[in-house]
Structure 1
Amino acid sequence: MPAEPTLVPLVGTPDVDVVVVGAGPAGATAALRLAGRGLDVALIERAETPGAKNLSGGVLYLDALVRAVGEAWREAPLERVVTRNVTTLLTSDASVSLDYGDQTLASSGTGGAPNAATVLRARLDPWLAGQAEAAGAFLMPGMLVESLALAEDPAVPGGRRVVGVVAGGQVMRARAVVLADGVNSFLARGAGLRPTPRPHQLAVGVKAVLGLDPALVEARFGVPEGEGAAHALVGDATLGVAGGAFLYTNQDSLSLGVVLRLDALTESGRSAREVFGHVLTHPGLQRYVADAEVLEYGSHLVAEGGIGMVGTVAWPGCVVVGDAAGLTLNSGLVLRGMDLAITSGLVAGDVVADAVAAEDPARVLAYQAALSASPAYRDLATHAGMTGLLRAPRTVRAVGRGRARRAPFDVPHRRRRRGPAAGLAAPGAAVAEPTRVARRRAPDLEVGVTSGTEPEATRGPALNVLLGSTAFDAATPHIDTSAMDPRSPETQAVIAVCPASVYRVARSRTTGEEYVAADEAGCLECGACLVVSSGGLRWEYPASGGVRFRQG
């Protein structure tokens, strides 16, 4: 839930120059730039290690990373350099692909870096946070920031400014705060700095990492050693739910996932788990995923609002970066977030450093214009019309009926030479659906997926692990369903969007009354349930423990 700010006296000695909340790509990059400018920086992360609560589709366009770390990019834990981009239109029992392979993509980026590479967040994020530490930032993992600390200050626009954060009931004062707390951005929303996103502005991303021998990865995807492919999947992949699907190659695994717009998912009558199970067992993908092992299953919210979701990102003493600022680009076939996050972190770092040097908290307001002039914002502006197009029912129906000529394929920005990374969704007939168990308990839930009359050799990876493949630590209670009506549309929506099957309608053995139960131990902490709730659900990040991604 959004966290109400804590009002504190204006006068007080700063504990650090800058607090950065969130050690993902945006926050770590901001901390790196700030520490490089000689500032005392605290980089706070709620997970025990950076990346343990982060998850992405997995393609990082490297221009921004090179600008952030220079030649150190060569040491980054990249999985595979993407030299092959494939767009595949799926029907219920067939597929057709547009395959673009280009060896120059291996060295066409800034400073001879690759154009793009696949990454796993549990490896990338600790490395990038380590770069910030090496520059002098102080990493503080395992700490949940509870609220922003605000003070009355008639000298700044609006009469209030951010003077720090509250964690563990204690105020940590700072000359400025950088919020990189993810797409939910409870801190900024609680302080009234950011609006509450609506279901049509967000999508739930559901992803599995599938273990596969490197030699099989290279043979199945037609790439040489060390190189990889990014597949955008459209058509039948998402059973008619607006969104898309992707399949990326890692060194010894695959990243397979779906991105489903929340409003479309709740209106479809389907569930996130059902759609993911469908794409995992789709006959058109078995040439790639057959016999792979499910290593991890996870979920994350994705911003879908485009440039219109960015809005105000700077206030006296505080700026917002990355996912928290709505910086995600979905052009129909390209889904980008990490490079935009890194760019925003660099921009914020410079603006905040200048403001601290000038001892003027209002100077951080210059971040608004600086971000608007950045490559990240310009790319969002270039694709500004795609958000409305992707929401149009006619667009989805056209692809679903196999009329590929009417699909709004995106032409990648020539200067960037971006390849497809995620795609549109469209309706189609189901190939396989998850069989439901009588009791949906997490994290030891077992879900079997049938594959019709397919021969044994062409069946997809077994889903008998799913949530069991994701690590959980004992978590403090963070879900309250007591005010939810078990027969309400709100309850049905919450059940549908939860990829972990946390919620179910149960019946009391003593009174016989129905109620909404939550097996919160298996919560993937994506927050999709809260977005579609109409107010009956109370959900927040656990104060400790919870999900722990080992792949990301």
Structure 2
Amino acid sequence: MTYAGPDSRSTVVGESTRTFDVVVVGAGPAGSAAALEVARVGHSVALVERGPFPGSKNVYGGVVYGRILDELVPRWWERMPVQRWVTRRSTMVMTPTQALTLDFRTQDWGKPPYNGATAHRADLDSWLAELAVEAGAVLIPSTVATGLLRDTSGAVVGVRTDRPDGDLTAGVVIACDGVNSFLAKEAGMYPVGGESAHLTLGVKQTLALPRQTIEERFGVTGRDGVDIEILGCTRGIPGGGFLYTNLDSVSIGVVLGLEGVRDGGTRPEELVADLKRHPAIAPLIKGGEQIEYSAHLIPEGGYHAMPELVGDGMLVAGDAAAMCLAAGIWLEGVNFALGAGMYAGRAAAAALAAGDVSRRGLSGYRKLLEDSFVLADHRRLRQLPGLVLSDRVQRNYPGFVCDLVQGLFQVDNPLPKPGLRKLLLRSAKDNGVRLRELARDAWTGMRGLR
């Protein structure tokens, strides 16, 4: 499929059909990054957002990592709406009465160029979309892309919308319409069936606390912040928990395998309540007043769950392409969305310049992803999501680890201290851990980290 060039394109709002070089659906991080890159090189681009403004329909429970922003928005830390810079990162393993925490902090992360930050999605998404608009993108809010437009060959040439002023045609459509992307599914880019096995449900409460209280309880000062990821807080349902600090609030919640929620007989809010009552967590959030409660789906299937990324006249990026990395100590999404969106924008612009927006003409997108962290990390860590969500890791290993460490630190004089081998065997037996499986899982984890 060839493209006639920008002179044949109109961007007059109000025509029954409006035509752009590129239409990006979804003004989240991936969509805004894609629109920004397209607009920067002078192509016309529409950024379609179903909410009244970018970020209005989003909730968020994590950290924005900044290295990809170095390339997309130089000196981004001077402009991005940040809550706190994460200078302390903790991984906690717990049982109902125990908690073991690996805690790391560094002041290197509290100064430019920074490593990660907590941010409200409404602020972050609006900021990114504003950058795209400043570069020349046309933001079309309160608009739902209801389907794809195709030419006689079947190639995608735009999107239908629910607006009375018509549909949008384009040389390239970039689908950034989030998890369960309807556009990617309509294009046949997702395999049929099995979607729920690759989805998790994130449930989050945001609790207001005075800024001084947060800094005293979490041991930080100024704009420094803390991110805690938790294993063993979901009653054996595949998933985990999180707790992180904003400027004058904390966000706490759980992420649960969708099929586990369906089969587990436990409501997600019960698990959040369990986490809030846990003796390792309750003192940190005491007195917090709930100001937000939200839930959303997350694509955590990893590399094996990704759809086709390139079609005739169409690219898929961000959550729509299942680009959320959930691999144990790495729980990242926004940075992958930003990277994928940026590369999608570049690939679309290159295809337009070459006059070929067919699958072949857009194939540079896949190459850009493979040469970057976006697909390189997903491919290297492709076995870890399944390991992290396995029954052994979720049900057996938290108690095994906590019992083992408790045995090491417990003093039972006048009895002599037990040897490590004895403690290992006893903890394994008490928690149903088979050492052969433990060794195999450790090997799988180490291979993913190599």
The one of 230, 235, 238 equivalent to 1:239 is: 235
The answer for the alignment partner of 2:84 in structure 1 is 80
CA shift at 1:57, angstroms? 1.3
Query: RMSD value over aligned CA atoms?
Result: 2.2
Q: 1:215 aligns with which of 212, 217, 221?
A: 212
Residues in 1 aligned to 2:23 and 2:72: alpha-carbon distance in whole angstroms? 19
Does residue 59 of structure 1 match 2:67? no
**In structure 2, distance between residues paired with 1:72 and 1:330:** 25
Mark the CA change 1:72 to 1:103 in structure 2 (over 3 Å): closer, same or farther.
Answer: closer
Aligned to 2:428: none
Pick one of 351, 362, 380 that aligns with 1:382. 380
Partner of 1:119: 119
CA deviations over 1:409-430 (Å, ceiling 9, x no partner): 978x999xxxxxxxxxxxxxxx
Distance in 2 separating the partners of 1:358 and 1:321: 22
> Which digits, 9 at most, give the CA deviation of each residue in 1:79-104, with x for residues without a partner?
11111111222221332322111111
**Corresponding pairs, count:** 393
**Which AA in structure 1 matches 2:97?**
D
2:420 maps to: none
Match of 1:40 in 2: 44
Instruction: Tell me which protein shows more helix as a share of its residues.
Output: 2
Residues 200 and 304, structure 1, Cα contact 8 Å, conserved in 2: no
Query: Structure 2: any 5+ residue segments left out of the alignment?
Result: 1-7, 11-18, 405-437
Q: How far has the Cα of 1:188 moved from its partner?
A: 1.3
TM-score by length of 1: 0.68
Does residue 265 of the first structure (1) align with residue 268 of the second (2)? no
Please state if 1:20 is matched with 2:24: yes
Gaps of 5+ in 1: 1-11, 154-159, 416-552
Deviation of 1:13 after TM superposition, in Å, equals 5.9
Q: Where in structure 2 are the equivalents of 1:74-473 lying within 5 Å?
A: 74-107=78-111, 112-153=112-153, 160-168=154-162, 170-196=166-192, 197-235=194-232, 237-362=233-358, 363-404=361-402
Give SS of 1:189's match: helix
Conserved? CA contact 2:189–2:307, under 8 Å: no
- Secondary structure of 2:104's counterpart equals strand
Question: For the pair shown, which has the larger CA radius of gyration, 1 or 2?
Answer: 2
* 1:27-54 per-position Cα deviation (integer Å, ceiling 9, x unaligned): 0000111100111111000000110111
1:183-224 deviation per Cα after TM superposition (whole angstroms, max 9, x unaligned): 110111123222355222110000111111111111110011
Instruction: Give the Å deviation of 1:366.
Output: 2.4
Give the stretch that moved more between structures: 263-272 or 56-65.
Answer: 263-272
Could you list the per-position Cα deviations for residues 264-313 of structure 1 after superposition, in whole angstroms to 9, with x for gaps in the alignment?
22222212222222223323211111101111111111112111112410
**What do residues 468-516 of structure 1 show as CA deviations (whole Å, max 9, x unaligned)?**
xxxxxxxxxxxxxxxxxxxxxxxxxxxxxxxxxxxxxxxxxxxxxxxxx
Deviation at 1:180, TM superposition (A): 0.4
Distance 2:200 2:368 in 1: 28
Decide whether aligned partners of structure 1 residues 278 and 338 sit closer, same or farther in structure 2, where only a CA change above 3 A counts: same
Provide the identity percentage: 37
Q: What amino acid sits opposite 2:106 in the alignment? A: D
With over 3 angstroms needed to count, the CA separation of the structure-2 counterparts of 1:207 and 1:334, relative to structure 1, is same
Contact 2:69 2:76 in 1 (8 A): no
Partner deviation per Cα, 1:104-141 (whole Å, 9 max, x = no partner)? 1224xxxx411111111011100111111111111111
CA distance in 2 between counterparts of 1:338 and 1:293 reads: 27
Equivalents in 1 of 2:385, 2:314: separation in Å?
28
